[in-house]
Amino acid sequence: MYAFDIERPTTVAEAVNALKTDEAQPLGGGQTLIPTLKARLAAPSKLVSLSAIAEMIGISREGSTIRIGGATTHGQVATELAESYPALGYLASKIGDPAVRNRGTIGGSVANNDPAACYPAACLASGATITTNTRDIAADDFFLGMFETALEEDEIVTAVTFPVPQKADYQKFEQPASRFPLVGVFVAKHDDGVRVAVTGASESGVFRWTEAEEALSADFSAGALDGLSVDADGMITDLHGDGAYRAHLIKVLTGRAVTASR
């Protein structure tokens, strides 16, 4: 790695201030950033660790929503949401591996928006709100493309708030090497309709399969998807599968998610 300093602020205000330095970068759990640094693909002057900011750690139930601090680990989400939002807890329990889950954070995952990350699908399907140090952003407005979000420079994700749906499920078909989703589908049935969010599949990053949402809002059953299909155009083709395969899996996994929703 190139050389850099690390600061460990204990409040959001301190962190925002530390990030004003040229070439400073926020450090969440580091499970994505540190391998990048090892490969010398980035050369920050300073890393601002967010893991010691108490106000960003923790999960709270607020009426029909669940608020997760941006520096909360996947492991904590997996354990604490098992009852209150099982599909989201399950998603967190399947990220990486146990050691990764003890460090990786929701804020880091969401801010990075890897096209094969799990959390963005949960955010979109839940209609979540991403809170930063300056504003709230609806999930629909937050994920702009592969590795691209609405975050401005020096903006950090301090919390993500999830409306809890009536029922939901996450189906993750793992890419056998990375164990990221080759395709991951999060289905959530809300009072006002169904949302279907897909990750791992599209060259444009996480997206909502609106055709399926309409059909499922009318009839929440796997059969409602008969006759629907996803266009292979724009789906990722790589070592592990082509666009047609990913398009096919989207439909298969959506049906399975609907059937398994609770």
Partner 1 sequence: MPKDTGIGASTRRREDVRFLKGKGQYTDDIPPAHDQAAAVFARSTVANGVIKSIDTSVAESMPGVLAVFTGADFADVGGNPAGWLINSRDGEPMKEPKRPVLAHGKVRHVGDAYAAVIAETEKQARDAVEAIEADIEELPAIMDVKAALTSDNFVHDEIGTNQCFDWGWIEDNRRATDDAIKGAAHVTTLELVNNRLVPNAMEPRCSMASYKESSDEYTLHTTSQNPHLTRLLISAFVMGIPENKLTVIAPDVGGGFGSKIYHYGEEALVLAAAKRVGRTVKWTSDRTEAFLTDAHGRDHVTTIELATDAEGNFLAFRTETYANVGAYLSNFATATPTFLHGTLMAGNYTVPNVYVNVKAVFTNTAPVDAYRGAGRPEATYSLERVIDKCARELGMDPIALRRKNFIKPDQYPFASAAGLEYDSGNYDALMDKMEEVADVAGFAERRKASEAKGLLRGFGVNAYVEACGIAPSNLVGVLGSRVGLYDAATVRVNATGNLSVMVGAHSHGQGHETVFPQIVADMLGIDAQSIDIVHGDTSKIPFGMGTYGSRSLAVCGSAVVRATEKIIAKAKKIAGHMLEAAETDIELKDGQFSVVGTNKGVSFGEVALKAYIPHNFPIEDIEPGLEETAFYDPANFTFPSGAYCCEVEVDPDTGKVRVDRMTAVDDFGNVMNPMIVTGQVHGGLGQGIGQALLEAARYNEDGQLESASYMDYAMPRADDLPFYIVDHSQGTPCTHNPLGAKGCGEAGAIGSPPTVVNAVIDALQSGGKNVTHIDMPLTPHRVWSAMNNA
Partner 2 sequence: MTKVEMTVNGKQVSRDVEGQTLLVSMLREDLRLTGTHVGCDTSQCGACVVHVNGKSVKACTMFAIEADGADIKTIEGMAGSDGSLSVIQSAFQEHHGLQCGFCTPGMVMTAANLLKDNPKPTEAEVRHHLQGNICRCTGYHNIVKAIMAASGQDVSAIAAE
Q: How far apart, in whole angstroms, are the C-alpha atoms of residue 260 and residue 49?
A: 38
CB of 30 vs partner 1, minimal distance in Å: 16
Q: How far is CA 157 from CA 45, 52, 76, 120, 135, in A?
A: 21, 14, 17, 13, 10
Choice between 8 and 240, CB closer to partner 1: 240
Assigned token pair, 158: 């301090």
Among 8, 67, 167, 256, binds partner 2 (CB under 8 A): 8
Q: How far apart, in whole angstroms, are the C-alpha atoms of residue 42 and residue 36?
A: 7
Binding site for partner 1 (CB under 8 A): 1, 3, 39-40, 173, 176-178, 182, 239-242, 245, 248-249, 252
Choice between 46 and 256, CB closer to partner 2: 46
- Applying CB under 8 A, the span of 3-11, 106-114, 186-194, 250-258 interacting with partner 2 comes to 3-11
Dihedrals phi, psi of 157, to nearest 5 degrees: -80, 110
Choice between 5 and 203, CB closer to partner 2: 5
Are 113 and 143 spatial neighbours (Cβ–Cβ below 8 Å)?
yes
Choice between 98 and 144, CB closer to partner 1: 98
Are 147 and 114 spatial neighbours (Cβ–Cβ below 8 Å)?
yes
Assigned token pair, 37: 């640094």
Report the half-sphere exposure of 61 (CA within 13 A, side-chain side). Answer: 8
Choice between 22 and 177, CB closer to partner 1: 177
Among 16, 37, 197, 249, binds partner 2 (CB under 8 A): 37
Binding residues vs partner 2 (CB under 8 A) = 1-6, 8, 30-31, 34-35, 37-39, 46-47, 49, 51, 75, 96-100, 102-103, 178-179
